[in-house]
Amino acid sequence: MSTVQTDRKSNVAVEVTLAVILLIAVAPIAWTVFLAFMPNRNIVASDWQISFWLGNFATIFADGTFMLQVLNSIMIVLGSVAVCMVVGSLAGYALSRLHPPRWLTIPALIIAAFIPLIPPMTLVPGLYLLLSEIGLIGTVPGLILVNGFLNLPFAALLMSSYFSGIPDELREAALVDGASEAKTFLLVMLPVVKPGLAAVGIFTGILAWNEFQMGLTLTSGGETAPVTVGIAGLLQPYAVTWGEMAAAGTLAAIPIIVMAVFANRQIVAGLTAGAVKG
Amino acid sequence: MRSTVEESPRVREAARSREQRPERRKRSRSTPFAILALLPFVLFGLAFAAYPLFQVARMAVSDVQIRSGQFTWEFTGLANLRQVFSEGDSWQAVGNTLFFIGATVLLSLILGLVLALLVDRAVKLLPIARNVLIWPAVVAPVVVSLMWLLILSPTAGGLNKVLRTLSLPEQGWIADGPSAMAAIVLVDVWHWTPVVFLFLYTALKAIDASTLEAARVDGAKEVELIRFVVLPALKPAIAAVVVVRIIMGVKAFDEMYLLTRGGPDGATTLVSQHIKTLFFDNLELGEASAFSLAVVLATAVILGVFLFFRSKADAR
């Protein structure tokens, strides 16, 4: 391996090209953070006026609706992550280790394979009717269920691959020792797949936090909407609130990027597995 | 079965107990727990996919009106489908989506491949690159749109500011039809190339180092190495990531909606936007549903054809 590394060390062109691409990857994020600390008149000015101003953040936090939307989003994230972890790990376990009857596995596999393929927007007319009928249209519980469901196929398939990685003897041993199926699952199998649960939790959490289409179409906006819809409301092509926009974008993006730095492994697992399967 | 697992004493013990009590093994195959564990998932699917799709299908063949908060249904057969595809807007949305998919898949594939090869050869920037390159993919699409609006806005965007500083002519960007399409393609490529990179980089790492070493010892130039060793080895990963990106392209909505609202004059309207406009703005519930179903079916057929040819190519 070391010979391969010394071969590569000399290549300045590679490092420089990569550095340029990394700058392009980071530039829009950096530009947004930069503008978040500028008053509007500096942003629309035709020359470059640099300042450090916290007024944009103050305006956003003073807006009660925005804070309510942040709370909605947090509840949607917690709720849908819980749905994905509980229902997803049970389903993943059943698909990989138990042998449920065919009449149940076949619909499950169709759902798991089909849902990630179709544009969510095609489900919206039907979901709109469904939520209206059960009285959950425009509510946080309604969005928890929809978000949870949209991420369930990914959660189930990822958990199933983690469960498949456990040697079968562990389960057999627990059963032979007299543990019930439920106890074996909860006390023996689940603790082994903690890394899988972490990946599912972090990744579905990010997806639920980022979700926009369902929040837009299944709520009437305002105080019932998630924060993505609130931020979208600031986006007008000829808007004048550039600074507030940048501040809101910074507040929404930075926590996720910090997470991407510290939970890199789980997110990479989610991005590759989630994309392969969905 | 893996032989190492077969040989372990625990498994032999388990196997023996299986032989001794075959009826127990049989019972464990169909325990109520197996059904209970999978049932919630299937119920979710029935409620949130099967039922909505059934309703979409029902609306697609009906004339649905909302009168004083009540839905009234009247069966009209294929009238909705005929109507929606007799409108130029629908075909424009289909055409835009096909162009969008072609452009974003191709560009992000090339860029992702270049990135994977670069990162694989980098030494100093390797740890930073592997981390920073996933940042765009985790940022919310809404925030991505916001960031690019701050760059591409004709009035206050950073790009026009730079052009002004350099005394170059300013551009309309998202305000003009062709450049608006270019802009949403660019934003999508910025957002999702990291996923392509991750796929191809992972596959690249899995290539046997000694194969590469042998080719280098035999005097293969770097370009020949990539052309004749690396690219053939990456073929399955490239095919997989192309499927993934096609699906993402069909689903695309957020950035396009937020940056251009499908405009100007429908120049950037993608199929999801068209469904939303028909359903929520025009209240053409039947036409929206018929178009939805057509999109679902077309996606299934295109992916089916692609996977068929891929498996045929693999078999060869």
- Prior bond of A153 cis (ω within 30°): no
Indicate the helix (H) or strand (E) that contains B267.
none
How far is A150 from A136, CA to CA, in rounded Å? Answer: 17
In which band, very low, low, confident or very high, does the pLDDT at A89 lie, cut at 50, 70 and 90?
very high
CB atoms within 10 A of CB A41: 11
Contact A256, B140 (CB under 8 A): yes
Angle at which helix B285-315 crosses helix B51-60, to 10 degrees, equals 120
pLDDT tens-place string over residues A242-257: 888 889 889 888 888 8
C-alpha triplet B173, B177, B181: angle, nearest 5°:
75
Size of chain B, expressed as the number of residues it contains? 316
Three-state helix/strand/coil letters over A95-114? HHCCCCCHHHHHHHHHHHHH
Q: Cα distance from B316 to chain A (closest Cα, Å)?
A: 23
Q: Which of B39, B44, B150 sits opposite A149 (nearest CB)?
A: B44
Please give the ipTM for the structure prediction.
0.84
Q: Cα distance from B168 to chain A (closest Cα, Å)?
A: 13
Domain boundary assignment for chain A: 2-36, 57-277
pLDDT above 70 for A85: yes
Q: Cα distance from B123 to chain A (closest Cα, Å)?
A: 6
Instruction: Go through the domains of chain B in sequence order and give each one's CATH number.
Output: 87-315 (1.10.3720.10)
Q: Which of B119, B164, B244 sits opposite A18 (nearest CB)?
A: B119
CATH number assigned to the domain covering A57-277: 1.10.3720.10
State which amino acid sits at residue A90.
L
| Residue position matching structure tokens 């000399």 | A10
The pLDDT value given to residue B5: 40
Three-class SS state of B3: helix
How far is B254 from B143, CA to CA, in rounded Å? Answer: 10
Query: CA-based diameter of chain B, in Å?
Result: 87
Q: Show pLDDT as tens, one digit a residue, over chain B (316 residues).
A: 334 444 444 444 444 444 444 444 444 456 788 888 899 999 999 999 889 888 888 888 888 777 766 777 777 778 788 887 888 788 888 999 999 999 999 999 999 999 999 998 888 888 888 888 889 988 989 999 888 888 887 777 777 777 777 777 777 777 777 788 888 999 999 999 998 998 899 888 888 888 888 888 887 787 888 888 888 888 888 988 888 898 888 888 888 888 888 778 788 888 888 888 888 888 888 888 888 888 888 888 888 887 788 777 767 6
CB atoms within 10 A of CB A139: 15
User: Higher model confidence: residue A203 or residue A276?
Assistant: A203
What does the radius of gyration of chain B's CA atoms come to, in whole angstroms?
26
- The residues, ordered by sequence, that sit 6+ positions from B308 with a Cβ below 8 Å of its Cβ are none
| Residue position matching structure tokens 């979700």 | A211
As a whole number, mean pLDDT of residues A226-233 equals 89
- The residues, ordered by sequence, that sit 6+ positions from B256 with a Cβ below 8 Å of its Cβ are B100, B184, B262, B268, B269, B270, B273
pLDDT tens-place string over residues A123-160: 888 898 899 888 999 899 999 999 999 999 999 999 99
Indicate the helix (H) or strand (E) that contains B18.
helix B9-20
Cβ-Cβ contacts under 8 Å between A and B: the total is: 338
The pLDDT value given to residue B11: 46
The pLDDT value given to residue B86: 80
| Residue position matching structure tokens 């560009």 | B107
Closest chain A CA to residue B160? A46
Partners of B276 on chain A (C-beta within 8 Å) are 121, 124, 217
Residues B31, A268: C-beta atoms closer than 8 Å = no
Name the A residues in 104-163 with CB < 8 Å from any B CB: 104-105, 107-108, 110-111, 114-130, 145-146, 148-149, 152, 156
Contact A90, B38 (CB under 8 A): yes
Name the A residues in 56-85 with CB < 8 Å from any B CB: none
How far is A83 from A97, CA to CA, in rounded Å? Answer: 21
The pLDDT value given to residue B104: 95
Q: Which of A93, A121, A216 sits opposite B37 (nearest CB)?
A: A93
Partners of A271 on chain B (C-beta within 8 Å) are 134, 137, 194-195, 198
pLDDT above 70 for A278: no
In which band, very low, low, confident or very high, does the pLDDT at A9 lie, cut at 50, 70 and 90?
low
Does the CB of A249 have a partner CB in chain B at under 8 Å? yes
Q: Cα distance from A211 to chain B (closest Cα, Å)?
A: 7
Provide, rounded to the nearest whole percent, the portion of chain A with pLDDT above 70: 91
Q: Is A63 exposed, middle or buried (0-12, 13-18, 19+ CB in 10 A)?
A: middle
As a whole number, mean pLDDT of residues A33-58 equals 77
Q: Which of A104, A124, A217 sits opposite B38 (nearest CB)?
A: A104
As a whole number, mean pLDDT of residues A38-59 equals 75
Name the A residues in 259-278 with CB < 8 Å from any B CB: 259-261, 264, 267-268, 271-272, 275-276, 278
Three-class SS state of B55: helix
